[in-house]
Amino acid sequence: MKKNDRTTMREQFRQNPWLFSVYFILRAVVVAIMVAQFLNGNYENFFLCILALILFAIPSFVERNIHIDVPDTLEIMILLFIFAAEILGEIRAYYIAFPYWDTMLHTVNGFLCAAIGFSLVDILNRHKALSFTLSPIFMSLVAFCFSMTIGVMWEFIEFLMDTVFRLDMQKDSIVGVISSVMLDPNTGGNKPVVVGDIADIIVVHSDGSQEALGLGGYLDIGLIDTMKDLFVNFIGAVVFSVIGYFYVKGSGQGRGKFLERFLLRWKKKKPEQD
């Protein structure tokens, strides 16, 4: 390691000890897992680790190249979110081991995306060169819509992966009751027929053979998971949007210290030295 690099690392640790420690520990853990996955021949997980390392670098890239300051609290939450989703969720199978792991991550995602969306309009609202001021309700609405749009786009990605690559990112659910107009005995009818107390699914193969899956109910292929993910994303977005509304309403009165930990800001230019 070069002397300048060591000096930079010491300076970063001095300025942001918590952020530096979290980043260093998570990165070291991911690298160790990546090596283990490669040696075990799990190349899909190996590339997931590479993806996680790339995502870890995005906040620093934004700060250096776009000159936007990412608050330490927000950056730590983003790093932990990436680790929880890619490493714990996918490689360690926490999505299966803990039923509410995916729900928790989508709720946090809704909150974080609302924070980013709110920051984008808040930066414009504080820009001295602009001659307009956005109302608190409008800024909260933009934050909410931004978060929900990101949530919907992610569900599109999951659906695409499931349809093209058969990955089952939209996790299946077992239900005991279904209702469908496809079961309406009247031709062309539109009356949903309810089927309850479903004990199992029997698959009839093309050769006529039958196979009982032993699931204990009907297999819903992703709809319930998708709607649940969007609903908890909605909750996270609403929570931040409401907090953001009162933050703008109370600006200039010493309020909003909590929210400022999640808001992006233009980096202040350092005074030029003679």
Q: In angstroms, how far is CA 254 from the centroid of its own chain?
A: 31
| Residue 273 confidence (pLDDT) | 46
Across 105-114, 150-159, 179-188, least confident range? 179-188
The encoded tokens of residue 100 equal: 């509410």
Per cent of the chain over pLDDT 90 is 65
**Cα→Cα distances 146→152, 153, 175, 228, Å:** 10, 11, 32, 18
Cα–Cα dist 95/44, whole Å: 17
| Residue 225 confidence (pLDDT) | 94
Cα–Cα dist 200/192, whole Å: 21
Is the pLDDT assigned to residue 130 strictly greater than 90?
no
Q: How confident is the model at residue 4 (pLDDT cuts 50, 70, 90)?
A: low
Is the pLDDT assigned to residue 208 strictly greater than 70?
yes
Is the pLDDT assigned to residue 272 strictly greater than 60?
no
| Residue 7 confidence (pLDDT) | 53
Is the pLDDT assigned to residue 5 strictly greater than 80?
no
Q: Please give the backbone phi and psi of residue 124, each rounded to the nearest 5 degrees, phi first.
A: -65, -40
pTM of structure: 0.88
Nearest in space to 144 (alpha carbons), one of 218, 53, 236, 68: 236
| Residue 254 confidence (pLDDT) | 47
66 vs 131, higher pLDDT: 66
Cα–Cα dist 115/147, whole Å: 8
| Residue 17 confidence (pLDDT) | 87
DSSP, collapsed to helix, strand or coil, labels residue 173 as strand
Tell me what the mean pLDDT of segment 128-142 comes to: 80
Is the pLDDT assigned to residue 251 strictly greater than 70?
no
Across 28-37, 184-193, 227-236, least confident range? 184-193
